[in-house]
Structure 1
Amino acid sequence: MRITESKKITDFFGCNVFNDGVMQKYMPRETYNELKEVTDLGKPLNKELANKVAKAMKEWAGDMGATHYTHWFQPLTGTTAEKHDSFISIDKSGNTVLEFTGSNLRKGEADASSFPSGGIRATFEARGYTVWDCSSPAFIKKSRNGAGILCIPTAFCSYTGEALDKKTPLLRSMEAINREGVRLLKILGVDAERVTANVGGEQEYFLIDKRDYNRRDDLKFTGRTLFGAMPPKGQEKNDQYYATIKDRVSDFMAELNEELWKLGITAKTQHNEVAPAQHELAPIFCTANIATDQNQLIMETLKKVADNHGLTCLLHEKPFAGVNGSGKHNNWSLCTDKGLNLLKPGANPSQNYPFLLFFTAVLAALDEYFDLVRMSAATLGNESRLGGHEAPPTVISAFIGEDMQQLFDALLSHSATGAHEKQRLNTGLNFVADIGKDFSDRNRTSPFAFTGNKFEFRMVGSSATLSTPNVVLNAAVSEMLSRMSDRLEKADKSRLHEEALGLACEFYERHKRIVFNGNGYSKEWFEEAEKRGLVHIDNSITAYDALLAPKNVALFEKFKIMNKKELESRRAIYLDNYEKTALIEARTMLMMAKREILPACMEWEDKLARDIEKLDAAGTNFGGVQKIQLAKTDALVNELFSDIEKLEAQIQEMQDLESSYDRCVFFRDRIKDTMDALRAAADSLETIVSRKVWPIPTYADILFYE
């Protein structure tokens, strides 16, 4: 029985989270207030306070049935990691007691050499530390039988202090944008003690029947299909998007929502996506670090709950060729502690100086650091999705809408009017009220779109962490805000508003080449982008080079987000992951082709040959169709076998190369083409070989399982 059948959502929302209400219940008022000063005002966490918090956390965890605790962190694998320790300890008298101290809460130890480090840690340099992130609430994860684990969100660093995770740079970048945002606002006379980057991540995913998943080695090993001919029907009728959710998926979503709500995740929107068997979930905005933590939990919970319903959740960016892949739209905004959304134009945007400055700072950041923005969405899986008329192109640009374009054109020509008059939309129906139009339209072809009070970064892949794109956005925008403050601090204070307006116009004029409100899928846009000097980075290997560009190293070092050593390690890790992912895909394709598809095709050839032999023995002129089918099959089998041998040789050649970079380039430039050719031959064979003989579930089976 669903919880919501007997309880309101608000009765159990966040019940597995050490949230504000729980803290007030289990902590003395003085301890609670001290902790709030640490989380809200950035005051240091002392040992005494940590002990008090640990005591309250242990008591709550025990009441919730938790027997173990873990420092839950996000290493550079792109997923999460945890090591469980029970609360059991032995006192001086040899008695078994339950213990959880401030030291246990604040710091843990992990084998840093066993996680990706890009050369920072060697096998003989194993020590690494996990450190409590008290800005993200602890929570309890429960197994199917109710066993509970207290999860403490932590950062992860090496023995020598370098960041070995996704969280540490994100927290550093949030401090940078807070510092620079508050600095600029104080110059403008705006009351603010804190500026926070808020994020809402829209998660797309596929659901397929678990039985089909278990029969496909490519799905099990790579997360995507390496073979598969298109079925007669795909997504061409656009009848899946927002369609009625089928009962089996609806039951899955109901359980998913309850599990997420228990974890304090504000799962808000759910719907069918464009492709068959594709869906989306979107939570409400929260701070960037908590949004990143919660998105990791969302991905984990999607997979766990799907299993309960005989389904498998696919998070790969392109699990099926020929239909839309999955992304993770990163909606990003900036707000003050007083509730002011700094990216909201307001009723009079031409005189909303904070908005004009922060808005143009974002555009300038996108233009100057386009290579980092592109890098932040670069993975091998995402390469198959980006630029395919289903996701944004790989040329970075910003959509701001006609109204914003007209506003800045008017400001530059000194013809801006006063308040923006909200437009109404007349539906032409007497019984339907007129509705207000938003400040901007939506442009699904833009990589980076302004949507009225936030920017939507649409390039991020569905399996990716939200950390990397937000580190880049926070860092790049911090730099532009810093430059603006440097200028305005020297300005004539009696003309501050005029100076601010002039500065916003100057930034817009200098960086307006990044603005494009048209069709990002069109060939004409790529030609126009080249004329504007915008660089097209169409592959991940090139994109990773941005991490070591001198201007980008200087950016990260200026705000103490990452040093050059940490950036070098990330580039090495990303290349290593690209290489290993590529090899796994190539080996899996080779295995399936040799052990499943080729034998099935030869079996089909044998059947056709025997049928022809029987018909010939009958002394008739029958068997003409079988002979044609046999000839077609044999020609494709020869192609398949030739490509198998070629791929096998190329895999060995790739492995013999000395550097990871060279192996990645070899895969990109040589092996991908061979894999495409091998797939083409296999997919053609799928269309003529008997369904009874074909060894793996087809797209028709998988995508239309209900």
Structure 2
Amino acid sequence: MTNLRFNALETASARVAKTVEAPSNKISEYFGEDCFGLNQMKAALAPAIYKKVESAVKYGTKIDEATADAVASAVMTWAISKGVTHHTHWFQPLTGSSAEKHDSFYDYTKGIETFKGSTLTQQEPDASSFPNGGIRATNQARGYTGWDPSSPIFITNKTLCIPTIFVSYTGDTLDYKTPLLKAQEAINKATIDVCQYFEEGVTSISASLGCEQEYFLVDKAFYAARPDLYIAGRTLFGAKPPHGQQLDDHYFGSIAPRVASFMKDFELQCHKLGIPVTTRHNEVAPGQFEAAPLYEEINTAVDHNLLMMDVMEQVAGEHNMAVLLHEKPFANLNGSGKHNNWSLITNKGRNLFQPEGSLYFLTFLVNTIKAVHEYGDLLRASIASAGNDHRLGANEAPPAIMSVFLGSTLSNFLNEVTESGKLVYAEGGDKFMELGIDKIPGLKLDNTDRNRTSPFAFTGNKFEFRAVGSTQNTATPMTVLNLIVAEQLSQFKASVDAAIAGGKDKEAAIRETLVQYIKESEAIRFEGDGYSQEWVDEAESRGLSNVKDTPRALDFFITEQAKEIFAKHNVFSEREIEARHDVWSEIYSTKIDIESKTMEEIVLNKVIPASASYVAKLADSASKLKDLGLDSSAITTTIKEVTGFMAQAKDGVAAMVTERDRVLEIEDTNAQAVEFCDSIKAKYFDTIREAVDRLELFVDDSEWPLPKYSEMLFLK
């Protein structure tokens, strides 16, 4: 019988880096050539039409029919000139990935290419098979997609893609984009109101986002030979290799030729799509890498991150590789996250988190801290997923405990405010690190260090939400973050206005309110090691939640506090958030169910036969030694150990299958998710894996069917 593992090894070892040629040595000459955003519209549309589109993007005004027709005509002409024949509304259903239904520009009845404004602005995909959490009946299949003009139209796979929202026939939200846009409106209004205390002329703000995307690469042959990778997205089995990441020699190391070729090609495709990918490097674990774009308006950044993941997978395939976006594809190695760097920028270009000695800066800093303190559980729920459960708190990523890191300068200042009850803050000039090497100039010091163990860290002029998982559509955590800060700013404005109405001076009212918030949110601030047991104990004493699994974390979405804030800002109705709670619970259960069935298949169809074959060889050897009058006890002992692990794996699978059948009968979606977590994953996965991983170390290398970690991770 052919051993797929050895075929994969032979195939992978023969691969060489693919040659990639950019259209120009200057990225500026082809950046954005496959997207049709405001810059392209300005060149293609009449000035009056362009101004209407610009107003819709910047201020949310509605686009009339004539304007839509003009845009549709221009975008069709542009797309056809680039060889495009079809168009689609590109939307983000609750599956977690993007969706599209292609239609031809060619009108068969008229014999010409046509694209109307009505088709640009609205289409009607079938909503019946997308997750909806019971929000619509089976016989109510109609759904609507609506053009989002604030996100650039783009071309991929010779198809014109129009970013859209997705709602049901009754108007209920069925996607990730719509809530984000609503939360963006909420924070825009709340921030503008507070900015008026400090400066005139702030008429809009933009939540800014930069998503650092971590990922693994493996050769496609290894991927095809590992059912757990291509079915579950992670290795369910695999013994720890002698050389993993313990030497830290992969981190920021020289990039292997095949990987560098992939990165160049991936970045090239991203740049054509207008995605500003600017950074690439090796990450901590072998086979792990990171790509990071520049900051963009949050809605565009979310769309670009989702598109970037699609581009990664397509380009990897062209280089005979598979990209692994799962949060924990390999045990005992660092997992992958999607660090969300978030800030608020006014229409006058001011970063509201740029440190300076003013009440302006402190107002937004303190209110953000207070928002995380008040709604930390909701923020935790926003990053909950089956994959992220493996990563959070595993000495490689922030813990499931939500906390805020500020760095020594700001932290010491807020501690002094707490003790004294007075708010006096003036930051000095730049500070420099003297290195004692004359030819090296002094390095400018930031006012904060970085803390990789913190889930929510202030990093100079932004907050970095490090706990977001690598596979996640980042719209949900950004929706929640925008929303809770918007709510907190609204409460701040109400408190200050009330104090002013009561006779307080404006500055005094602001200072007193901030002092109160600093004291009330002290528990959420933590500067130490988030990985330590001491922090777990201390967090409990502070009253902070430490919910480590997804089913229980999702419950934070349906608390009265959460329902109230969602409804108040028109982000979710109670019906919509309860539907999402059901959808996400069901997705969790389905993923654990898939993993358990994949484990069953691999154990019974691959591991046990390979192990049995090895035992037969050992038994034959022992028999021959015995016939020769030689000692066979070592082989006999090995046989006992191997058969013991075989029994542990097989019996574990049998018991898991029985329990799984019971859990699948549970009708309540969240109750079922809890049971999949406790009675399937927690009870059986580690036990079965332990046995299989031990068998990998025992069974003859020529017999073992699955590519090993040491073979897959060191891609050259």
Give 5+ residue unaligned stretches, structure 2: 1-18
Partner of residue 488, structure 1: 496
Partner of residue 310, structure 1: 320
Residue 415 (structure 1) shift: 7.2
Q: Is 1:418–2:443 an aligned residue pair?
A: no
- The alignment covers a number of residue pairs equal to 693
Q: Distance in 2 between matches of 1:658 and 1:235?
A: 43
Partner of residue 173, structure 1: 183
Alpha carbons of structure 1 residues 33 and 5: separation in structure 2 relative to 1, 3 Å: closer
Residue 269 (structure 1) shift: 0.7
Which shifted more, 655-664 or 165-174?
Answer: 655-664
Give 5+ residue unaligned stretches, structure 1: 143-147
Q: Is 1:135–2:135 an aligned residue pair?
A: no
Deviations 1:15-39 (A, max 9, x none): 0010233212221111111211111
Q: Distance in 2 between matches of 1:560 and 1:595?
A: 51
TM superposition score normalised by structure 1: 0.96
Could you tell me whether the CA contact under 8 Å between 2:256 and 2:715 is conserved in 1?
no
Q: Distance in 2 between matches of 1:6 and 1:405?
A: 48
Partner of residue 24, structure 1: 42
Q: Is 1:574–2:584 an aligned residue pair?
A: yes
Residue 676 (structure 1) shift: 1.0
Q: Residue 222 of structure 1 aligns to which amino acid in structure 2?
A: A
Deviations 1:505-526 (A, max 9, x none): 2111111110000111111111
Residue 3 (structure 1) shift: 4.4
Q: Distance in 1 between matches of 2:295 and 2:28?
A: 18
Alpha carbons of structure 1 residues 447 and 4: separation in structure 2 relative to 1, 3 Å: same
Could you tell me whether the CA contact under 8 Å between 1:357 and 1:503 is conserved in 2?
no
Could you tell me whether the CA contact under 8 Å between 2:151 and 2:299 is conserved in 1?
yes
Alpha carbons of structure 1 residues 75 and 180: separation in structure 2 relative to 1, 3 Å: same
Residue 650 (structure 1) shift: 1.5
Q: Distance in 2 between matches of 1:517 and 1:643?
A: 43
Q: Is 1:452–2:460 an aligned residue pair?
A: yes
Q: Residue 204 of structure 2 aligns to which amino acid in structure 1?
A: R
75, 82, 87: which one aligns with 1:57: 75
Q: Distance in 1 between matches of 2:620 and 2:408?
A: 68
Partner of residue 649, structure 1: 658
Residue 191 (structure 1) shift: 2.6
670, 675, 680: which one aligns with 2:679: 670
Could you tell me whether the CA contact under 8 Å between 1:227 and 1:682 is conserved in 2?
yes
SS in 1 for 2:42: helix
For residues 91-240 of structure 1, the aligned pairs below 5 Å read: 94-142=109-157, 148-240=158-250
Q: Is 1:66–2:76 an aligned residue pair?
A: no
Residue 670 (structure 1) shift: 1.8
Q: Residue 337 of structure 2 aligns to which amino acid in structure 1?
A: G
Q: Residue 608 of structure 1 aligns to which amino acid in structure 2?
A: L
Could you tell me whether the CA contact under 8 Å between 2:20 and 2:261 is conserved in 1?
no
Could you tell me whether the CA contact under 8 Å between 2:106 and 2:113 is conserved in 1?
yes
Residue 52 (structure 1) shift: 1.1
Partner of residue 382, structure 1: 388
Deviations 1:668-705 (A, max 9, x none): 11212212101101101110111100111111111124
Q: Distance in 1 between matches of 2:238 and 2:466?
A: 27
Alpha carbons of structure 1 residues 417 and 681: separation in structure 2 relative to 1, 3 Å: closer
Which shifted more, 124-133 or 627-636?
Answer: 627-636
Could you tell me whether the CA contact under 8 Å between 1:356 and 1:501 is conserved in 2?
no
Q: Distance in 2 between matches of 1:434 and 1:162?
A: 57
Partner of residue 703, structure 1: 713
545, 548, 555: which one aligns with 2:565: 555
Residue 190 (structure 1) shift: 3.9
Residue 420 (structure 1) shift: 2.3
For residues 149-548 of structure 1, the aligned pairs below 5 Å read: 149-346=159-356, 348=357, 352-412=358-418, 413=420, 414=422, 416=424, 418-492=426-500, 495-548=505-558
Which shifted more, 406-415 or 651-660?
Answer: 406-415
Q: Distance in 1 between matches of 2:20 and 2:322?
A: 21
CA RMSD of aligned residues (A): 1.4
Residue 189 (structure 1) shift: 3.3
Q: Distance in 2 between matches of 1:657 and 1:30?
A: 59
Residue 111 (structure 1) shift: 1.1
Residue 88 (structure 1) shift: 1.0
Could you tell me whether the CA contact under 8 Å between 2:281 and 2:289 is conserved in 1?
yes
Deviations 1:10-69 (A, max 9, x none): 000000010233212221111111211111122221111111111111111111111000
Q: Residue 398 of structure 1 aligns to which amino acid in structure 2?
A: V
Could you tell me whether the CA contact under 8 Å between 2:38 and 2:54 is conserved in 1?
no
Alpha carbons of structure 1 residues 503 and 215: separation in structure 2 relative to 1, 3 Å: same
SS in 1 for 2:526: coil
81, 102, 120: which one aligns with 2:99: 81
Residue 623 (structure 1) shift: 2.7
Q: Is 1:621–2:630 an aligned residue pair?
A: yes
Q: Distance in 1 between matches of 2:633 and 2:663?
A: 45
Could you tell me whether the CA contact under 8 Å between 1:240 and 1:272 is conserved in 2?
yes
Q: Residue 382 of structure 1 aligns to which amino acid in structure 2?
A: N
Partner of residue 682, structure 1: 692
Could you tell me whether the CA contact under 8 Å between 2:404 and 2:456 is conserved in 1?
yes
Identity, in percent, stands at 40
Q: Residue 472 of structure 1 aligns to which amino acid in structure 2?
A: V
Deviations 1:347-388 (A, max 9, x none): x2xxx2221111111111101111110001100111011011
TM superposition score normalised by structure 2: 0.95
Partner of residue 145, structure 1: none
Residue 563 (structure 1) shift: 0.7
Could you tell me whether the CA contact under 8 Å between 1:3 and 1:258 is conserved in 2?
no
Q: Distance in 2 between matches of 1:74 and 1:628?
A: 56
Q: Distance in 2 between matches of 1:62 and 1:53?
A: 14
